[in-house]
Structure formats: structure tokens, C-alpha cells
Amino acid sequence: MKKIIKLSVIAFAFLAMPSCKKFLEENPPSAYTPANYYKSLVQAQNAVNGIYASISTLYSQGGNFDDLGLLLLEMPTGQSNTDISQSTNNQELLHLNTSSANLYVRQWWRTSYKGIDAANLAITNISAMPASVVSATQKSQLVGQAQFLRAWFYFNLVRIYGDVPLLTTPTTGTADSQIPRNPTKDIYEKLIVPDLLSAEQSGLPFADQTGRVSLGAVKGLLAKVYETMAGYPLQQADKHALAKQKALEVISSNQFTLYSNYDQFRDPSNDNKMENIFMAQFSSKDLSNPLFAQTLPLFQPISGVYSGNGALTPDLTFYKSFKPGDKRGQEDQYFFSHYANHGSGADVVFSEGQHIFKYFDNVSYANNTQSGKCFPIIRLTDIMLLCAEAQNEADGTPDANSYTYLNQIRSRAGLAPLTALSQSQFRQAVWRERNHELCYENITWFDMVRTRMAYDTKNDAFVPLVGYTFPYGSNITFQTKNLLFPLPQSEIQANPKLTQNTGY
């Protein structure tokens, strides 16, 4: 079964989590409290399932003018643009002058902490359930899922905001959450890594096609965490070897397979399987994915159900950075410049130029329905390239496996294999492949910050991130303060123990 995360709000009614029919079938808010819940296996399962709702919320529409949460990590890369100018949130990000009142800044903070509080609640209460209600195996797997999710939320928070408050127990009142920021290093070493190591031993299946956390997802996230710790700001070089090992464990499991073509990437029937290790869940009936509409050209009559708004478009210089033979840069692969009118079939040429085809939902288009396509969070190509990068850094030169992983991805794109590269040449080859293969998947910005390097798309070169001028604006230059986003001003006002990031 696909995308089965269906809930009965259960304990999350009192957490006031956002709801939708896909994930939450609400009971009256007064029906449950932590004291009278957690009395059955079903309730324990529902408690864990409820944590997933915050993931989809992060990638959902959050305001007027087609504001979309995932744009927080796309607009400030220098590789994105937009057809519309009404959104102050998007314009701030594009011009690297994000304010503490930005909708996305607030959305990622609040939604992440809602997910963390739900995870804390589940971990605390399920761990205390008697064996007569939940077996040791069931309890271990449920807590393992919750620990992965809590680690994932914190991993995002420290990369977006830097030091953040560390909450590990359920909050029962305002005072519980009014604590100061904890150092980023502590968040990694006291929660993120321990949670994932614990989840790794929780008995989860290596792959899971329902949309829930699997062992493959845990190991994949550990690889990403270790490689990030090896980079900035922690620069713990010993973590390269650990990242390589965890990535190898995912790859060598043979539980995940590369798509043979990019049509399979867009096919909703491949959600939660093949190359997809972990995804944000969506459903055309319950919680639709807004990204299909957000990447359609503004006001062009392509889809019957969507008018198209072009909220997220490719920067032209980034589009041109794809080599002529790279299939990803060809029509109807990662990008498109024209398409058939849903009603008449007439070819519609986009006056604004290239748009993102990577998230075009053929099922939604054909059936005139909302998009139920899931959004990739961890996929095999990411882990393969991460493994190649980590091995090259750990050993000082690329090995046979690293060339294999890099060239498999290049081969699918129609590019010639690479051989006999120096450590520096191989490093940049992997970075270039990550920019092209994983574009618009909320990965590029994190890569820029952990490596402190930017892909200069005009010159096809990697340059220091701080001081890099974006290709679409001579005055848009990345500054040190842009390495982190501001904390939401509303949170600072609510918690006097919080301090703002430097420069905001």
C-alpha cells in the first residue's frame, strides 16, 4: 500500500496540529489527553503517525501569493526565480534580505517544533506502555520512527537557524519552551546522532513502501548528518569516514534502485519505492502537493485543475549550465518551455521561457485532479553522490566505488564517464552533479552552507560562497549573515531567552 499514514488525531488534538483528511481524521479535541491515551497498540501507532503530519506541512502552501514553505531553501540559492513578484516572502529570499517576519522563517520554526513536541510526547509515553499492550518489538519500532523524525526536525533547524532550543520532553505550558538556544554542536551530539543510532537498532524494516521511516532512511539520514558535521560549521573531519560507511550500507543493501529514466521520477506510482528512500506524503484527495501548480507557468492553460502560477522557476544561467548532451536539461525532462493545453491539445509556448518540469504530475494532468505526488526527502542518488564525496575526502583520492556511483548517475543523464581525476577535480565533479541531479529538492542550499562553496553557473566553476554575486542581480551578493536565517521575531517576543542571529 502507498501513503497509508492515516490517523485518528488521537493525542494530537491537544497539540493543535494542522489537520487534513489524509493524515488526520479528527475526534473531538476534548476526547483525549496524555493521561487517558496510550492504552492500545493502535493508539501508540496513531501517536507516531501523527508526527508525520508536520513534515507535509513544511512543504505545503502557507500564505497568500502562492507562498510555499519549501521555497525557503530554493529562493536563496541563486538558481531559482519566480514569475510573480507579489510575494514579499519570495522577494526577500531572492534578494538575500530575509526579515525575521518572513512567513517561511516562521513556518519552518513553528512546524518543526510542533513535530518535535509530538515526537517527544510519543517517545515518552510509548516507552512507558506495558508489555501487555505493546510488545517489546512493536514499542522499539514505534519509538525508533519517532526518534528518526525528531532528529530530522532538529537537523533542519540547526542548518537553518544555527543554535536552537533543545527540547526532549513534552511541553505542558509556555514555561517549558521558554529556554535559551543550545549550541549547534550539542544538538548534533546530544540528540541528532544519538536518536538516529538508537533508531538504527530499533528493528525497522530496511525499506518501507508505506511512507513510514525505514532502516534505509535512518542510515541515509545518518550519512547526511555525518557529512554535514564534517563540513561547516563543525568541521569534524573524522565524520567523512562515518558518512561513507552509512551511505555504503544503504547502497549495498540493494533495497533501492535507480530509475532508468526521469519519467519514473515523476510517476506517483513510484512514490516510496525504487529510488525514494524517504518522502513527504501527499494525496490528491486529502492533502494535495502544491508543487505541480507552483512550477507551472503563470496563467498558462496547461492543466485543467491548475491555472499555473510560476512561483518557482529556474534561473536562466542555471538552466544553461546543463551540458548540451545532458538529458536533464532537455525538453520534458527537468525543464520544459511548451506543453499541450489540457482542454484543446494545442501547443502552448511559454512567454516566460523555461519552467521546471521535474514535478509535473502526469496523473493529475490526465485526470484533472489535485496532485498527490510525494516530495523526495532522501533518495538513492543523493546517498550515492554523498558516499562518493565522503570517500574522496576521507581517503584523499576517489576509489572505484566512488567513480561507479558518480558515473551511474552521469550515464543515466547521457554524460560520458569520468576517470583519473585528482581529489580536487573529483570533489568538484561530485558537487556539480549534486547541483544538477538534485536541483529543487531542498538540498542545494544545505550543500552550499556545509561546503561554503557556490556553483557559479555563469562560469561553470565553484567559488567561495561568501562574496558570491547571484547571476540575476549585480547587487545580490551572499554575505556571512546569509549562512543562517533569522529567528522569527514572533518567537523572540514570546521567549525572552532567545537571541537573534548576527546581522538581523
Same domain? 429 vs 490: no
Do 157 and 173 reside in the same domain of the chain?
yes
Instruction: Give tens-digit pLDDT for 120-178.
Output: 999 999 999 999 999 999 999 999 999 999 999 999 999 999 999 999 999 988 888 89
pLDDT in tens, 276-301: 999 999 998 888 899 998 999 988 87
Tell me what pLDDT residue 485 has.
Answer: 98
Radius of gyration of the chain (CA): 22
pLDDT in tens, 340-376: 988 889 999 998 899 999 999 999 998 888 999 999 9
Whether the per-residue pLDDT at 32 is higher than 80: the answer is: no
Tell me, yes or no, whether 212 lies in a domain.
no
Other Cβ atoms closer than 10 A to 500: 12
Vertex 86: Cα angle to 81 and 91 (nearest 5): 45
Which CATH number belongs to the domain containing residue 139 in this structure? 1.25.40.390
Do 473 and 490 belong together in one domain? no
- How far is the C-alpha of 7 from the C-alpha of 30, rounded, in Å? 17
**At 12, is the pLDDT very low, low, confident or very high (cuts 50, 70, 90)?**
very low
Answer yes or no: do 490 and 447 share one domain: no
Number of domains in the chain: 2
pLDDT band at 239 (very low <50, low <70, confident <90, very high): very high
Closest of 112, 126, 110, 113 to residue 47, by C-alpha = 126
Residue 44 placed within a domain = yes
Range of the domain at 116: 10-75+83-203+486-494
- CATH number for 470: 1.25.40.900
Task: Answer whether residue 310 is part of any domain.
Answer: no
More confident residue, 306 or 325: 325
- The per-residue pLDDT for 6 is 37
In a domain, 332, yes or no: no
Residue 169, C-beta contacts closer than 8 angstroms, at least 6 positions apart: 120, 124, 176
What's the whole-number mean pLDDT along residues 442-461? Answer: 98
The pLDDT value recorded for residue 21 is 33
Same domain, 44 and 148: yes
441 and 490 fall within a common domain: no
Asked if 451 and 490 sit in the same domain, the reply is no
3 state DSSP class of 338: strand
User: Is residue 20 pLDDT above 60, yes or no?
Assistant: no
CA distance 356 to 211: 25
With respect to residue 152, please indicate whether it lies within any of the assigned structural domains: yes
Residues 390 and 490 in one domain: no
CA distance 464 to 307: 40
State whether 18 and 55 are in the same domain. yes
Residues 62 and 51 in one domain: yes
Q: Is 111 part of a structural domain of the chain? A: yes
Residue 168 included in any domain: yes
Is pLDDT of 273 > 60? Answer: yes
> pLDDT tens, 37-86?
999 999 999 999 999 999 998 988 666 656 889 999 999 999 999 988 88
Residue 17 has pLDDT above 60, yes or no: no
Q: Return the pLDDT at 63.
A: 61
How is residue 325 written as a grid cell? 548532451
Q: Are residues 490 and 392 in the same domain?
A: no
Domain match, 463 and 490 both: no
| pLDDT at residue number 61 | 67
What pLDDT does residue 65 have? 59
Structural contact between residues 213 and 198, judged by C-beta atoms closer than 8 angstroms: no
Q: For residue range 369-419, list pLDDT tens digits in order.
A: 899 999 999 999 999 999 999 999 999 999 999 999 999 999 999 999 999
In a domain, 183, yes or no: yes
Strand partners, 461: 456
Q: How far apart are CA 333 and CA 181, in angstroms?
A: 43
**pLDDT higher than 80, residue 251:** yes
Confidence of residue 316 (pLDDT cuts 50, 70, 90): very high
For the chain, percent of residues with pLDDT exceeding 90: 81
